[in-house]
């Protein structure tokens, strides 16, 4: 198992190299001049040329990439073109906010989605099942930003229950989490329901009932555990979409996360900031996938033996 | 007269499907004496599995239901028992072994835990430690090493899995064991071993057994009595001797015996029964076998024959009155 984890972490290196190269290429090939962005429209051509030389922008693109990667490997992610502060500090002051938002959204999804899915499956075709299926359909069809704005309108402006913007207290996270998690919550409810229904039809569930197991035991001990695999996969996949969804939600709720930072950095052609943000993003997704696979192994002994010991 | 462990009287079971109502069991009568083994034989679709699922009350919810009849287990009527009452009986007084060992074990629980679960459900008073020892003993009885109880189903072969299923079914020493084609999915050599083991264990625990099979050879080796089923009814029933010796037989029974190779006779070819099982949604009037029967009489087309008794031997056919 440990060997498997180490292997997986090492396998992330080529992925990181590939992604960094693609992003670096895009940033270099798209039009726009960082020197111009820093000095403004009124700068003299001499000043611009001097700054370009200074920032190493005149060197060959491959050389610049190589230099960037060597520095990054040593932990030096450069200075942001636009804010003139070290990229590392900038990224690390904002990532925790975004991660917190995504993590709370996941918890919101899991705590609501799995139980609703289970109840729907157990009470198939009942009123409660119909309500949750219609609810799920609605949630998937509503655009996230619209839901966010409606929540602000109702809960903040009209009833003054929750703060509309900022990150000062846990209350600030409630509406963003609902906005961000809504669509994925709907997916999770459906996946849980359909997998529970699929597993209930399996022969070993009949065996469990033939042993004299009661309804609750059959649902939780025998069915849910087997239905968990696709559910865990879905949650892992949702984390990726949550991180990207966070970009919109952060701007709706005025939260200082990576989302707003990446958008501004791209506008300003702030290559070091964009690169570092994307690389962290990749690492986080990679780690989440690894965690999902480890949870797989914990749930399913067949997966465990395929990892070797 | 000997005590009966199981008595089924006039049982009707139907499945509600999109195409119509499937009449899977239609007035079935069946008796099993204590300590004996009854072989339940019949073509595919005859309603054998449905019969045992009815005894366990494990018919698919909302689709299958018992519409008429009584089932007595050890003299007690279990037909109208509530689900919670049934749960106390299942795995305890009456156990079932399913057809396919490959899919009957839960893939995410260790086999030891799965065997222990039956004991936890019905003999919780034993305590954790004693249950653990019992699991070791039972594994030993079915010929598996007790060290392997921490392993998971995918680490065992088909024959071993069926041994585990049998261990689970016998853990609480049930009065009645319902075995639905327990060896069909296994290799021929393993089949014999597993059957021999089931027979031995059944005697150790003085359990009565109902064995469903297609194999008349297996019946001859393991059963005390035989019931032959056709379209949801028992059409002939008797001791092994009644059924296997020449004399009065239902034409369907004769057909069944003619369709298996007989090594003692020099027959050139097998003669399978002509035609197909009737559609259980639209059963023919009269005797359900009459469209395929070589000795069909006029009366067979509109009147269901009564059961004629010759001592232990019972036949449902108009030829015998
Ligand atoms: N869940 C179900 N829904 C609808 N019809 C069913 C269902 N289960 C069984 N049947 C029908 O009931 C009839 C009896 O089926 P059953 O499984 O009892 O046969 P069987 O004698 O066990 O056959 P086999 O030897 O193939 O196992 C068949 O016509 C079958 O199509
Ligand atoms: Mg069957």
Domains and CATH numbers, chain A: 18-73 (no CATH), 94-269 (1.10.3720.10)
Nearest to A207 among B83, B104, B110 (CB): B104
> Does residue B195 lie within any of the structural domains?
yes
pLDDT at A242: 87
Atom number in ligand 1 closest to CA B232: 14
Q: Are A1 and A237 in contact (CB under 8 A)?
A: no
Query: Residue B2 CB: number of other CB atoms within 10 A?
Result: 8
Q: Which residue lies with its CA nearest to atom 27 of ligand 1? A: B44
Q: Count of domains in chain B?
A: 1
> Does residue B213 lie within any of the structural domains?
yes
Instruction: Give this complex's ipTM.
Output: 0.89
pLDDT, tens only, B24-76 = 999 999 999 999 999 999 989 999 999 999 999 999 988 999 999 999 999 99
- End-to-end CA distance of chain A: give it in Å, rounded: 6
pLDDT at A246: 85
* B212-250 as b/e: b if 16+ CB within 10 A: bbbbbebbeebbbbbbbbbbbbbbbbbbbebbeeeeebb
pLDDT, tens only, B249-269 = 999 999 888 887 766 666 566
Which CATH number goes with the domain that contains B69?
3.40.50.300
Average per-residue pLDDT in chain B?
Answer: 91
With bands split at pLDDT 50, 70 and 90, how would you rate the model's confidence at A163?
A: confident
* CB within 8 Å of chain B, chain A residues 242-301: 299-301
Q: In angstroms, what separates the C-alpha of A211 from chain B's closest C-alpha?
A: 4
> Does residue B98 lie within any of the structural domains?
yes
| pLDDT over 80 at A227, yes or no | yes
Best residue of B49, B86, B104 to probe chain A, by most A CBs closer than 10 Å = B104
- End-to-end CA distance of chain B: give it in Å, rounded: 25
Q: Which residue lies with its CA nearest to atom 25 of ligand 1? A: B44
Range of the domain at B50: 4-242
Query: Do B106 and A214 count as a contact with CB atoms less than 8 A apart?
Result: no
> Does residue B287 lie within any of the structural domains?
no
Cβ < 6 A, ligand 1 pocket: B 15, 17, 22, 24, 42, 44-50, 60, 63-64, 280
CA distance B192 to B174: 23
């Amino acid at each position: 198992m440990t060997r498997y984890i180490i292997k997986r972490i090492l396998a992330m290196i080529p992925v990181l190299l590939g992604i960094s190269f693609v992003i670096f290429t895009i940033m270099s090939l798209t039009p726009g001049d960082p020197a111009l962005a820093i000095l403004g429209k009124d700068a003299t051509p001499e000043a611009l040329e001097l700054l370009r030389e200074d920032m190493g922008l005149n060197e060959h693109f491959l050389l610049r990439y190589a230099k960037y990667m060597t520095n990054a490997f040593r932990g030096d992610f450069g200075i942001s073109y636009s804010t003139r502060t070290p990229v590392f500090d900038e990224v690390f002051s904002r990532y925790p906010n975004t991660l917190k938002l995504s993590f709370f959204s996941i918890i919101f999804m899991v705590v609501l989605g799995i139980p609703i899915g289970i109840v729907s499956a157990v009470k198939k075709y009942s009123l409660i099942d119909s309500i949750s299926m219609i609810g799920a359909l609605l949630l998937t069809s509503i655009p996230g930003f619209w839901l966010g704005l409606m929540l602000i309108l109702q809960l903040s402006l009209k009833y003054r229950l929750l703060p509309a913007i900022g990150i000062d207290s846990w209350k600030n996270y409630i509406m963003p989490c609902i906005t961000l998690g809504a669509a994925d919550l709907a997916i999770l409810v459906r996946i849980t329901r359909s997998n529970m229904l699929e597993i209930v039809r399996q022969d070993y569930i009949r065996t469990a009932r033939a042993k004299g197991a009661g309804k609750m035991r059959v649902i939780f001990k025998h069915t849910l555990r087997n239905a968990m695999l696709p559910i865990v996969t879905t949650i892992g996949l949702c984390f990726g979409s949550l991180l990207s969804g966070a970009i919109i939600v952060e701007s709706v709720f005025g939260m200082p996360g990576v989302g707003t930072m990446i958008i501004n950095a791209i506008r300003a052609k702030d290559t070091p900031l964009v690169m570092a943000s994307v690389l962290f993003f990749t690492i986080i997704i990679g780690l989440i996938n690894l965690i999902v696979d480890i949870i797989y192994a914990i749930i399913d002994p067949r997966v465990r033996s395929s990892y070797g010991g | 007269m000997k005590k009966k462990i199981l008595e089924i009287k006039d049982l009707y079971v139907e499945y509600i499907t999109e195409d119509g109502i499937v009449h899977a069991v239609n007035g079935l009568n069946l008796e099993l004496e204590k300590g004996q083994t009854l072989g339940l034989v019949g073509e595919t679709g005859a309603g054998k599995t449905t019969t045992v699922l009815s005894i366990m009350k494990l018919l698919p919810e909302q689709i299958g239901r018992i519409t008429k009849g009584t089932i007595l287990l050890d003299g007690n009527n279990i037909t109208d028992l509530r689900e919670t009452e049934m749960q106390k009986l299942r795995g305890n007084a009456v156990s079932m072994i399913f057809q396919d060992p490959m899919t009957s074990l839960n893939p995410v629980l260790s086999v030891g835990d799965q065997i222990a679960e039956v004991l936890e459900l019905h003999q919780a008073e034993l305590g954790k430690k004693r249950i653990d020892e019992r699991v070791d003993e039972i594994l030993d009885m079915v010929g598996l090493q007790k060290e392997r109880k921490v392993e998971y189903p995918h680490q065992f072969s088909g024959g071993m899995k069926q041994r585990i299923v049998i261990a689970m079914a016998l853990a609480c020493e049930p009065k009645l064991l319902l075995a639905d084609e327990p060896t069909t999915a296994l290799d021929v050599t393993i089949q014999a071993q597993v059957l021999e083991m089931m027979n031995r264990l059944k005697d150790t625990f003085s359990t009565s057994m109902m064995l469903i099979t297609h194999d008349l050879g297996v019946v001859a080796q393991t059963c005390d009595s035989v019931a032959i089923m056709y379209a949801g009814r028992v059409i002939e029933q008797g001791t092994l001797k009644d059924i296997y010796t020449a004399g009065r037989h239902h034409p369907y029974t004769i057909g069944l015996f003619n369709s298996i190779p007989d090594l003692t006779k020099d027959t050139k070819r097998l003669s399978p029964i002509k035609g197909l099982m009737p559609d259980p949604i639209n059963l023919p009037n009269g005797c359900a076998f009459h469209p395929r029967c070589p000795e069909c009489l006029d009366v067979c087309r509109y009147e269901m024959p009564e059961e004629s008794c010759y001592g232990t031997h019972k036949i449902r056919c108009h030829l015998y009155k």
